[in-house]
Structure 1
Amino acid sequence: MSQHTIRLAGMLRRLTFTVVTLTATAQLLTASATAAPATAPAHASAHEIVTWGASADRMGEAASNRGYRLVVRTSAGGTDLRVRLSNAFGDRPLTFGRAYAGVQKEGAALVRGSNRSLTFGGERSVTVPAGESALSDPLPGRLPAATSLVVSLYVADTGGPATGHGMAMQTSYTSAGDHVAAEGPADWTGTTGSWFYLDAVTVRTGPDVGAVVALGDSVTDGWQSTTDHDRRWPDYLARRLQADADTHIEGVANEGISGNKVLADGAGQSALNRLHRDVLSHPGVRTVLLFEGVNDIKAHTGVTAQDLIDGYRRIIDRAHTAGVCVVGATVGPFKGWYEWDAPAEAVRREVNEFLRTGGEFDAVADFDRILRSPYDHERILPFFDNGDHLHPNDTGMQAMADSVGLRDLSCDRDAP
């Protein structure tokens, strides 16, 4: 097949999943008369991939008789949307009375006709045991790429710790009581900057299409990027992938947790302890882009470069065993942050030397080289600095995403 034919095929695939008018958006989750059911032979060559994800964490006391209208931005387009609801940190069963999926018009208002009921094993209500998750039945219909999807949940009965993602950098909405079927905003008067219970959205797409998971800390989570504008570096990466006709990596899941570490629990479970749930359990994942380590280093807990390298190796081994490739990202500069000192900088440099030259990752994304000042390699370039000397601004986030080699994400490794 010629390169011209491959490029044309990629362009046509993306056009299929593009929303071109508000009318088309209103219909994107509506099952057409010709839509095949999820089990039909027409889907035999398709497979499921993750199109959105967020790391689950402990969220404080859970509330009963509460509605959550959660706004998320998908990456890959496809059919047969499914959502995963998590009770990973609950200590008792959690009952969802109803769940709906629709498309955001503005704020808590949905595009008319887009809000549709989700089922779980054919039932509208589902009870999720403590420590478990529930995957919805496929919702027939097509979901275009880059959709502002709204998942509305009614939590009928719960208690104990809630599960969710604390720093969403996205405004979602809450209600008292069950208003999940309503497309208007009248009853959704509360706001929240967190996502509750929803930790993944998947779609079915062609068998050649895959996904990448960004596993990281607050920089990956998007801290200091502009809220409600999807300017985290994985968002910019998703837009690059969508615009590239030659890549088959279209799904992007952001599994960053602010303050997260590779080796130790604290701000969320460590990267090692959450690797299965937040990365390997997602369908269609080809590659994980690992960008963690600065919190291990700057915490001054005695973690050495060799400790961190050993942690990276454990992640690589587990991912490779599962048939998933690993792109390692160098640890960015943070001189000027209050926890920086010369010993921490020495660890960072040694770790980055391993990342660049060790040859154990399938590829390397050199975020340090992109972010650092040419006049002081220990500091973030002021043009990319949000002001705290650790977290990039929107421009820095985009520069990071632009530096990722898209071909590196297409690594294909078969599980043994």
Structure 2
Amino acid sequence: MSHNTGSGRTTPRRGFWYLLAVAATTLLLVTPSSASDHRHQPHAGGSDWVGSWAAAVTPPDSRPDTQRFHDQTLRQVVHLSVGGDRFRLRLTNVHGTKPLSVGAVTVSPRRGGRGTPNIDPTTAVPVTFDGRSSTTVPVGAEWVSDPVELDVADNSDLVVSVHLPESTGRASVHYEGRSTTFLAPGDATSGSGENYESIGTARYFLDGVDVRTDSAGSVVFFGDSITDGVRSTLDANHRYPDVVADRLLKRPEPRELGVLNAGLSANRLLTDAGLGGEPAIARFERDILSQTGVRTVVLLEGINDIHHSAGAVESRELIGVYEQLIARAHEAGIRVVGGTITPFEGAPRYNAAGESDRRAVNEWIRESGAFDAVVDFDAVVRDPGHPSRLAPRYDTGDHVHPNDAGLAAMARAVEIRELY
């Protein structure tokens, strides 16, 4: 990795309400319990709020598995990177069309093996919002819970159960959660799990968990389906950011970093991709700048623009978006690590024009000096004898997405010292 100098941090605004305008005029509202946020301040050790888990959300599309809910309980599992002595949840209605009524929320450690909804009901801890067990999340808003006074461990699973007593309307959803989501009738927030059934791997209305801990801050991995880990093993936490999180936990406690995955399958730099949601430039503020305690973002995106346009997108257009993202991050005092775009020969829309654009963008990433550091994912996963395609041992078979072994190789390529 190469290294350049970043800029200083800004100081967040505080008050009874914390209001942050995102691209496309979306509002981010934070409850009074979160008025002490330190979202853009550097962490130099000591107990502070840090992002430990996140998921980027989109409006629902026409997929048949897209859900709407009415008097039902969603049970979702989040895998924390760093633990702490208390935590808070972040619910989201950013893409909703009506206020989201939340009847009750509980959290509990998972009981039993992965891919199950089971908990010990005696361990279910109620979550409150401004002291109340129920709340309503306005349209276009994110809602932060009161702190929950409970120790949570590093590298642990939290089971989050949310009762939705009224019709939810359009959901804010993350389709490729790679973790099984469950549903039960009525208020089953403290139920053991026997009334729950699997409804797929999409996540709904939940986009973050912050913890109070001794940590150096958090790092956001921002990208598309490769960062999202869409072909990784279900319920196993084998996405490449998960493996980086495991590496970070081996460092002394004050030097740990929370890991936030802002990967969004089918996402593009330039255009709204439908099921891939808003383009990167539009979601950058919500999925990076509004996260808690962020020091660094690792940016790996652009393959969808190249692939789906069959080479019609020019490399200079993609570079222009990178430059905008870098400038906005630096204004907030956040370092940016650029990841080179991985090979895709053999994919349906591969052609020579697209490959030429990919190589031109990668050359700029490596040589321009625009990033604070570079991680060469392309060099790690490509076939040495045929560098325009993935190495066979890392290819899931679609010639775009690395398998678990490829994702682990990508994680090993990230130099930990460049994340601070």
Hey, what's the Cα distance between the residues in 1 that align with 2:122 and 2:381? 44
1:398 aligns with 2:408: yes
Runs of at least 5 residues in structure 2 that lack an aligned partner in the other structure: 1-34, 37-44, 61-65
The amino acid across from 2:51 in the alignment is V
Which of the residues 173, 177, 187 maps onto 2:195?
187
State the distance in 2 between where 1:63 and 1:139 align: 26
Partners of 1:268 and 1:73 in 2: how far apart?
A: 23
Partner of 1:271: 280
Deviation per CA, 1:200-249: give whole Å up to 9, x if none.
0000112x521111101111111111101111111111111112338824
1:383–1:69: structure 2 CA closer, same or farther, 3 Å change rule? same
Aligned to 1:26: none
Deviations 1:6-53 (A, max 9, x none): xxxxxxxxxxxxxxxxxxxxxxxxxxxxxxxx99xxxx9521111000
Cα distance in 2 between the residues matched to 1:161 and 1:248: 40
Residue 248 in structure 1 maps to residue 248 in structure 2: no
Residue 177 (structure 2) pairs with residue 168 (structure 1): yes
Say if 1:75 and 1:251, in contact at 8 Å, map to a contact too.
yes
Q: Is the 8 Å Cα contact of residues 174 and 192 (structure 1) preserved in structure 2?
A: no
What is the CA–CA distance in structure 1 between the aligned matches of 2:331 and 2:285, rounded to whole Å? Answer: 12
Q: Does 1:197 align with 2:221?
A: no
From 397, 403, 419, give the equivalent of 1:387: 397
**SS state of the match for residue 219, structure 1?**
helix
Q: Which residue of 1 aligns with 2:26?
A: none
TM-score (norm 1): 0.85
Deviation at 1:62, TM superposition (A): 2.5
| TM-superposed deviation, 1:161 | 1.1
Question: Unaligned stretches of 5+ in structure 1?
Answer: 1-37, 411-416
Counterpart AA for 2:178:
M
Contact 2:107–2:126, Cα closer than 8 Å, also in 1: yes
Pairwise CA distance, 1:154 = 0.5
- Percent of residue pairs identical: 38
Query: Corresponding residue for 2:58?
Result: 57
What SS does the corresponding residue of 1:379 show, helix, strand or coil? strand
Secondary structure of residue in 2 paired with 1:140: coil
Partner of 1:369: 379
CA distance in 2, matches of 1:91, 1:362: 39
Deviations 1:325-351 (A, max 9, x none): 100000000001111100000000000
**2:29: which partner in 1?**
none
Specify the code of the residue in structure 2 equivalent to 1:194: A
- 2:407 maps to amino acid: M
| One-letter identity of the residue aligned with 1:240 | R
CA distances 1:100-157 after superposition (whole Å, capped 9, x unpaired) = 1111112111145321000000010010111111100000121110111111001111
Higher relative contact order (CA 8 A, sep 6+): 2
Partner residue in 2 for 1:13: none
How far did residue 381 of structure 1 move?
Answer: 0.4
In structure 2, the residue matched to 1:260 is 267
**SS of match in other structure, 2:209:** strand
